[in-house]
A and B are shown apart, each in its own frame.
Chain A
Amino acid sequence: MTTTDSPYVLSHLDVLESEAVHIIREVAGEFERPVILFSGGKDSVVMLHLALKAFAPAPVPFALLHVDTGHNFPEVLAYRDRTVAAHGLRLHVASVQEFIDRGELRERPDGTRNPLQTVPLLDAIARHRFDAVFGGGRRDEEKARAKERVFSLRDEFGGWDPRRQRPELWQLYNGRHAPGEHVRVFPLSNWTELDVWQYIAREKIELPSIYYAHEREVFARDGMWLTPGDWGGPKEGEPVATRMVRYRTVGDMSCTGAVDSTALTTQDVITEITTSRLTERGASRADDRLSEAAMEDRKREGYF
Chain B
Amino acid sequence: MTDRTLTEGATSLLRFATAGSVDDGKSTLVGRLLHDSKAVLADQLEAVEHASRSRGHDAPDLALLTDGLRAEREQGITIDVAYRYFATPRRRFILADTPGHVQYTRNMVTGASTAELAVVLVDARNGVVEQTRRHAAVAALLRVPHVVLAVNKMDLAGYAESVFAPIAEEFAAYAASLGIPEVTAIPISALTGDNVVTPSAHMDWYGGLTVLEHLETVPVVTDPTAEPARFPVQYVIRPQSAAHPDYRGYAGRLDSGVLRVGDRVSVLPSGRTSTIAGIDALGESVDVAWAPQSVTVRLADDLDVSRGDLIAPTAGPPPITRDVEATVCHVADRPLRVGDRVLLKHTTRTVKALVKELPSRLTLDDLSQHAFPGELAANDIGRVVLRTAEPLALDAYADSRRTGSFLLIDPADGTTLTAGMAGTAFAAGAVRPAADDEGWDF
Binding site for B on A (CB under 8 A): 1-3, 6, 8-19, 21-22, 25-26, 28-29, 53-59, 139-140, 142-147, 153, 162-163, 165-172, 174, 176-178, 189-190, 192, 194-195, 198, 201-202, 274-279, 282-283, 292-293, 296
Contacts and interface: CB of A to CB of B under 8 A. Distances in A.
6 contacts: A19-B292, A146-B68, A169-B416, A176-B413, A198-B8, A282-B41
A71 to B, nearest CB: 24
A171 B51 contact: no
A292 B55 CA distance: 13
B6 A198 contact: yes
Contacts of A194: 4, 6, 87
B8 A202 contact: yes
B144 to A, nearest CB: 12
A176 B414 contact: yes
Q: Can you list the 7 inter-chain pairs with the closest CB atoms, starting with the nearest?
A: A176-B414, A282-B43, A143-B68, A58-B239, A21-B294, A277-B42, A12-B13
Contacts of B79: 162-163
B80 interface: yes
Nearest to A168: B110
A166 B294 contact: no
Nearest to A201: B8
A174 B290 CA distance: 25
A240 B41 CA distance: 29
Given A12-B12, A147-B82, A190-B83, A169 B419 contact: yes
Nearest to B253: A22
Interface in B42-67: 42-44, 47, 51, 66-67
Given A1-B219, A139-B83, A57 B243 contact: yes
Contacts of B345: 172, 174
Contacts, number: 214
A10 B12 CA distance: 7
Contacts of A276: 41
Interface string B325-347: 00000010000000000010101
Given A53-B283, A146-B82, A18 B113 contact: no
Contacts of A167: 81, 106-107, 109-110, 331, 416, 419
Contacts of B67: 143
B273 interface: no
Contacts of B280: 56
Contacts of B68: 142-147, 296
B43 A283 contact: yes
A242 B87 CA distance: 36
Interface string B90-121: 00101000000000001101100110000000
B342 to A, nearest CB: 11
B238 A11 contact: no
A42 B4 CA distance: 21
B402 A2 contact: no
A250 B221 CA distance: 37
B73 interface: yes
Interface in B384-408: 401-402, 405-407
Interface in B4-37: 4-6, 8-13
Contacts of A174: 345, 407, 409, 414, 416
Contact of A57 (B83, B244, B292): B244
Contact of A171 (B82, B114, B293): B114
A274 B407 contact: no
Given A28-B235, A172-B345, 9 more contacts: A18-B293, A19-B294, A55-B235, A146-B68, A163-B79, A171-B114, A176-B409, A194-B87, A279-B43
Contact of B292 (A10, A29, A56, A195): A10
B108 to A, nearest CB: 10
Contacts of A54: 251, 282, 294
Contact of A55 (B85, B237, B414, B416): B237
Contacts of B243: 57
Contacts of B413: 176, 178
Given A58-B238, A169-B405, A174-B407, A163 B71 contact: yes
Contact of B2 (A58, A189, A274, A282): A274
Contacts of A16: 13
A8 B2 contact: no
A282 B241 CA distance: 46
A166 B415 CA distance: 7
A22 B234 contact: yes
Interface string B228-269: 000000110111010110010001110000100000000000
A1 B42 CA distance: 38
B223 interface: yes
Contacts of A56: 237, 280, 282-283
Given A169-B419, A176-B414, A276-B41, A147 B221 contact: no
A25 B85 contact: no
Interface string B282-315: 1100000010111000000000000100000000
Nearest to B4: A274
B222 interface: yes
A178 B413 CA distance: 6
A17 B44 CA distance: 28
A15 B126 CA distance: 40
B241 A6 contact: no
A276 B2 CA distance: 9
Nearest to A300: B70
Contact of A14 (B2, B219, B283, B293): B293
Contact of B85 (A13, A22, A29, A192): A192
A28 B348 CA distance: 12
